[in-house]
Amino acid sequence: MTESEYLVETRGLKKYFPLTGGVFRKVIGKVHAVDGVDLHIRRGETLGVVGESGCGKTTLGRTILRLLEPTEGEIWFDGKNITDVKGKDLRHIRRQMQIVFQDPMASLNPRITIKNSVGEPLVVNGIARGPKMRKMVLELLEKVGLTEDHLNRFPHEFSGGQRQRICIARALALNPEFVVMDEPTSSTDVSVQAQTLNLMKDLQDELNLTYMFISHDLSVVKHMSDRIAVMYLGKIVELTPHDIFRYAQHPYTFALVSAVPIPDPRFAGKAQILSGEVPSPINPPPGCRFNPRCIFAQEVCKTQEPELRDVGDGHLVACHFAGTLDFGKSAQQEYAEATGSM
């Protein structure tokens, strides 16, 4: 494929945060939050990004949007390199790239009404003011299932699910092509999660949106995503268009899958428990970053970093022994076979 056929692409993307210490606040180390990520997102698809807390999911999304400045690497959007774009050009590009933050209450100004919160992008970008802005805001709120009665209310007057809908409406105000969803359902209960996910799918179909869907909930990501990227300690270790529950190829991915709770006592205690602690992102281990915790690790894993390579049908895995490891069946697979739910 040519570059223009990808809406979003990163090449060797890195984001390090400096650590300072001492009286003169000298840099004494760096947190390798995102460390050499190569990926692409096609128009109209949803790329799910999963991994445990601290693996770099949110930092990756914010760096792609240039909310954080990359340390190294390139970011391409719609066939253009936007890594070093600044000023008016960056402001223009940002109209096409939006984000829905994890905590809707923290991302809404508690002192202004919903009409002004959702309408602010329209005012700032010179699109609409006054009655025209109000009309456009109302149309946005109706798209996400809210009504005219909600226009003049404040954020604290809404439930968590309604606040998340408001944030989605605000993200859509400028008709973006690409939206980063940063754990948009983590602060809502299960019934509201389903409504929010269905809303996002409907809006994607209606407006031809492209999503990066960040979450730690594998079941939600499986439901939403066309492809799933698994991150560990700042790197993508697996990227697959297949069912992650059935076709996990990386030991870390299999461990994540096996940790998903199953509502059946017959399968209790069958999760694969990882030994040891997550290594420090300040000083990542050499070779494969998962090697200190991997039960399949060999000497090559401690010295050579594996490449993210295709093991067939677009399934990319960063493991020296991808395709040759026998994980056995996960408890999830056994449960699905026993219940016929897969």
How far is the C-alpha of 162 from the C-alpha of 159, rounded, in Å?
5
At 98 the pLDDT is 95
**DSSP per residue, 215-250:** -S-HHHHHHH-SEEEEEETTEEEEEESS-TTT---S
> Can you name the residues that pair with 11 across neighbouring β-strands?
74
Provide the residue type at 222 as one letter: K
pTM (predicted TM-score): 0.91
At 1 the pLDDT is 42
Which three-class secondary structure state does DSSP give residue 175?
coil
Residue 233 gets the label, from left (phi > 0), alpha (psi -120 to 50) or beta, of: left
C-alpha closest to that of 297 among 269, 266, 276:
276
Query: What is the chain's length?
Result: 342
**74 burial via Cβ count (<10 Å: 0-12, 13-18, 19+):** middle
End-to-end Cα, the chain, rounded Å: 33
Q: Output DSSP code: residue 274.
A: P
Q: Which residues in 316-341 are b (16+ Cβ under 10 Å) and which e?
A: bbbbbbbeebebeebbbbbbbeeeee
Q: Which two tokens stand for residue 172?
A: 């859509």
C-alpha closest to that of 217 among 249, 166, 181:
181
How far is the C-alpha of 257 from the C-alpha of 272, rounded, in Å?
9
Contacts with 106 (C-beta within 8 Å, 6 or more apart), sequence order: none
**Strand locations in 53-205, DSSP E?**
72-77, 80-81, 97-100, 178-182
Q: Which two tokens stand for residue 240?
A: 């697959």
Other beta carbons less than 10 A from residue 197's beta carbon: 17
**Strand locations in the chain, DSSP E?**
6-21, 26-42, 46-50, 72-77, 80-81, 97-100, 178-182, 210-214, 227-232, 235-240, 309-310, 316-317
Q: Please list the pLDDT of the chain residue by residue as tens digits (342 residues).
A: 444 679 999 999 999 999 988 888 888 899 999 999 999 999 999 999 999 888 999 999 999 999 999 999 999 999 999 999 999 899 899 899 999 998 888 999 999 999 999 999 999 988 999 999 999 999 999 999 899 999 999 999 998 889 999 999 999 999 999 999 998 887 777 777 888 899 999 999 999 999 999 998 888 899 899 999 999 999 999 999 988 888 889 999 998 888 887 777 777 666 677 778 889 999 999 999 999 999 899 999 999 999 999 998 899 999 999 988 887 777 777 767 766 655
